Amino acid sequence: MSEASVRPVAVVTGGSRGIGRAVAAELARTHQVVATYRTRLDSAERLREETGALIFPCDLASGADRAALVEFTRKKLGRIDLLVNNAGMGPAERRDILEAKEESFDALIAANLKGPYFLTQLVARWMLERGAGRIVFVTSVSAYAASVNRGEYCLSKAGLSMAAALYAARLAPHGIPVFEIRPGIVRTDMIAKVEKAYDERIAGGLLPQARMGEPEDVAKVVRAIVDGLLDYCAGQVLDVDGGFHLRTL
């Protein structure tokens, strides 16, 4: 039997580490958070201990897992006020697109695009029943910046950017704003192997704001969204990238 949460409820996918962890920790100040994880139970349990978040194992590529997540939240908390589609993965190894493998392509499209697309479908239907909610898609500058050694990642993020636009157009008339947050180079374990190279490029002028992003930079933008400061900005793309998107001469 479901029991509606007294606090607003936020579901954060991939909430056990990196950007998702920072977002979950920020939201836990005001929300009951449900944070998903796929493999890192240890990190998820630390998040639960530190913030009081509920944790739930979920492979977003699995329709059964997506349905189980929504059902868990419905039964446990009775509502979803915010969905943050954050979970994503990079390729196991970076390969030139002339050498890329179909297996990697299939895995990234399933996890990074199909998963959040159809999870949002489930959550959006519920939000329409309740007549309220907000949805965030965390994409990447890789939605438009070509990296020829990880083409499948770029394609998954470009597709996710369009998914955000589609849901924004569909749900805005019903008072459910949808946003895309587009992080740039952010210090997480996803870039650990190339962090030094990025630091050198940033020092060489890659970013107008000459520092690497931190997960908390993204969490602050999510805070602005949940506080209602951007509710008349449905479909807005919010670049959290130190100015990487700027074109200068």
> Do 137 and 163 meet the contact criterion of CB atoms below 8 Å apart?
yes
Mapped onto helix, strand or coil, the DSSP state of residue 68 is helix
Q: Answer yes or no: 37 catalytic.
A: no
Burial 83-119 (b: 16+ CB within 10 A, else e): bbbbbbbbbeebbeeeebeeebbebbbbbbbbbbbbb
Q: Which residue among the candidates 117, 153, 167, 198 is catalytic per the annotation?
A: 153
Task: Pull the structure tokens for residue 161.
Answer: 């950017």
Distances in whole angstroms, Cα of residue 21 to Cα of each of 3, 80, 84, 161, 163: 26, 18, 11, 21, 23
CA distance 191 to 215: 12
CB 19 within 8 A of CB 13: no
Find tokens 């029943």 and name the residue: 129
Q: Give the active site residues.
A: 153
